[in-house]
Amino acid sequence: MRVKVKYIILFISIACIGLRCTKPYNPAVVAGNNNYLVVEGNINTGTDSTTILLSRTTNIASGITTLPEPGATVVIQDNQNGSYSLHSNGNGSYTSALLTLDPTRMYRLSITTADGKVYLSDFVPASVSPPIDSIGFKTVNNNLQVYVNTHDPNNATHYYRWDYTETWQFHADYPSTYISNGSEVVYRTAAQNIYQCWTNDISTDIELASSAKLSQDVIYQNPLLSIPSTSEKLEIRYSILLKQYAMTTAGYNYYSLLKQNTEELGSIFDAQPSTLTGNIHCTTNATIPVIGYVTAGTTAQKKNIYRPYPATKQLDNNLSLHL
């Protein structure tokens, strides 16, 4: 009995020491006034428009997740003195008209923010993305894994990045049979039916792959995302619209480091955060950091639909329209 009491006292003593030695640590950078410009986007040199997203960094303690940058002037410039203005869509989004830019030229962004500061990205070459061969689905650990296949027959790309938009059809938890017309409750018409729903989402992770160490420029079954079998995304119909970007070595290295710093940290076994240096600079004040890496080139797109049950053409058409 004395032995048990001895061990209990020892355990309580260790617990108390541990509690006394633990105290919260709030580094100054968490509450610092860091309001840096963030630039996201690719200068599209194909037959499509270019969309650039501008925002500001926020403090972790602020509780604000996004802070768009309105009122900026954004211009695409090439190394032959050509320029193409983008217009604001609101919410920090800036889009050009449909452009067919010369793929032999180099391009950069010129940004003038509402506070008068000027930012320039470095000139970058226009990379041409090969087509996406296929988007596939397979079951892995009871989840649905979405993967991509692509290759460059010219053996010239080697570095790839993807983003995507998901769209899926699902049923509401409960049907709603009635609706108020303002004066009385009536039955819903077919056009007012809200039991059958569609929604969508965009990718938030950084999806990369490289064939630089392979003898052929082939990406085979590169995983993009994993969807739990219990997700509502797989209830009726699921569609993914994938965009593929060809990257330069420098651009790929930047996104790889960004992925490491944002998605692969959190445990004692992960790598330490590394300094992230993009290709955008504030020419008004060179000491102001800027976050982002501007790329240029064509994009490849492909869509695929996953059907957990036998499909009907009407359902697939509806899903395509909502995408």
pLDDT in tens, 271-294: 677 788 899 999 999 999 999 999
Q: Tokens in use for 219?
A: 């990406």
- Of 17-21, 94-98, 311-315, which gets the smallest average pLDDT? 311-315
Residue 310 has pLDDT above 70, yes or no: no
Q: Read off the pLDDT band of 10 (50, 70, 90).
A: low
For residue 64, what pLDDT is reported?
Answer: 77
Q: Read off the pLDDT band of 312 (50, 70, 90).
A: very low
Per-chain mean pLDDT for the chain: 87
Residue 52 has pLDDT above 70, yes or no: yes
SS (HEC) of 204-225: CCCEEEECCCCCCCEEEEEEEE
How far is the C-alpha of 165 from the C-alpha of 161, rounded, in Å?
14
Give the pTM. Answer: 0.82
Q: In a 10 Å sphere around its CB, with 0-12 CB exposed, 13-18 middle and 19+ buried, how is residue 44 labelled?
A: buried
% of the chain surpassing 90 pLDDT: 67
